[in-house]
Amino acid sequence: MAIEVQVPTLGESITEGTLAQWLKKPGEAVAADEAIASLETDKVSVEVPAPVAGVLTEQLVSEGDTVAVGAAIARIDENATAGAATATPAQAAAASTTNPAGAGETPALRGAELAPERAAAVSEASSGDDHITTLSPAVRRAVLEYHVDPSTIRGTGKDGRLTKDDVIAAAQNKTATALEAKTPSAPAAPAPAAQSKATTTGERKEERVKMTRLRQTVARRLKEAQNTAAMLTTFNDVDMTAVIEARARYKDLFEKKHGIRLGFMGFFVKACALAARDVPAVNASIEGDEIVYRDYFDVSIAVSAPKGLVVPVVRNAQAMSFAEIEKTIAEYGKRAKEGTLTVDDMTGGTFTISNGGVFGSLLSTPIINPPQSAVLGMHRIEERPVVKDGQIVARPMMYLALSYDHRLIDGREAVTYLVRVKEAIEDPTRLLIDL
**pLDDT-based confidence at residue 101 (cuts at 50, 70, 90):** very low
Region 218-232 average pLDDT: 84
CA nearest to 265, candidates 233, 303, 236:
303
Return the higher-pLDDT residue of 130 and 404. Answer: 404
Contacts of 14 (CB under 8 A, 6+ apart): 41, 42, 43, 69, 343
pLDDT score recorded for residue 221:
79
Closest CA to 355 of 303, 425, 310, 318: 303
Mean pLDDT of 218-222: 79
Average pLDDT over residues 296-320: 87
What's the pLDDT band for 353 if we cut at 50, 70, 90? very high
In this predicted structure, the answer to whether residue 20 has a pLDDT above a threshold of 70 is: yes
Using an 8 Å Cβ cutoff, are 35 and 48 in contact? Answer: yes
Is 341 within 8 Å of 310 (Cβ atoms)? Answer: yes
More confident residue, 398 or 111: 398
Whether 88 has a pLDDT exceeding 70, the answer reads no
Pairwise CA distance, residues 123 & 434, whole Å: 64
Catalytic residue among 159, 410, 427, 434: 410
pLDDT at 124: 42
Domains in the chain, ordered, with CATH? Answer: 1-102 (2.40.50.100), 105-179 (no CATH), 222-433 (3.30.559.10)
Task: Give the SS3 label for residue 400.
Answer: strand
Model confidence band, residue 39 (pLDDT cutoffs 50, 70, 90): confident
- How far apart are alpha carbons 22 and 63 in whole angstroms? 7
Mean pLDDT comparison of 17-26, 154-163, 301-310, highest-scoring range? 17-26
According to the model, what pLDDT value does residue 307 have? 67
Task: Note the pLDDT of residue 135.
Answer: 64
pLDDT tens string 139-191: 766 777 777 777 788 777 766 777 777 778 887 787 666 555 554 554 545 54
**Residue 43 scores a pLDDT above 90:** no
* 108-148 residue pLDDT tens: 333 334 444 444 444 444 444 444 345 665 676 677 777 77
Orientation of helix 241-258 relative to helix 411-426, angle to 10°? 60
4: how many CB neighbours lie within 10 A of its CB? Answer: 13
Sign of CA dihedral 330, 331, 332, 333: positive
Could you give the CA distance from residue 239 to residue 421 in angstroms, rounded to a whole number? 11
Q: Is the pTM for the entire model greater than 0.75? A: no
Identify the active-site residue in 278, 406, 427, 434.
406
Q: What is the mean pLDDT of residues 333-340?
A: 83
Longest CA–CA separation in the chain, Å = 84
Q: Quick one: pLDDT band at residue 434, thresholds 50, 70, 90?
A: confident
pLDDT at 12: 57
Look up 42 and say whether it is catalytic.
no
Least reliable range by pLDDT among 14-18, 61-65, 278-282: 14-18
Give the range among 97-111, 170-184, 339-353 with minimum mean pLDDT: 97-111
pLDDT of residue 117: 42
The set of residues, in sequence order, having a beta carbon less than 8 Å from that of 196 and lying 6+ positions away, is: none
pLDDT, the chain, mean: 79
Residue 337 reports pLDDT greater than 70: yes
As a dihedral over the C-alpha atoms of residue 85, residue 89, residue 91, residue 96, rounded to 10 degrees, the angle is 120
Among the residue ranges 196-205, 299-308, 416-425, the one predicted with the least confidence is 196-205
Q: Average the pLDDT over 313-332 and give the result.
A: 93
222 residue type, one letter: L
Q: What is the pLDDT of residue 180?
A: 56
Q: What is the pLDDT of residue 321?
A: 92
Active site residue 410: yes
Residue 356 has pLDDT above 80, yes or no: yes
Q: What pLDDT was estimated at residue 104?
A: 41
- Residue 4 DSSP code: E
| Burial zone of 148 (CB within 10 Å; 0-12 exposed, 13-18 middle, 19+ buried) | buried
Distance of CA 171 to the CA centre of its chain: 22
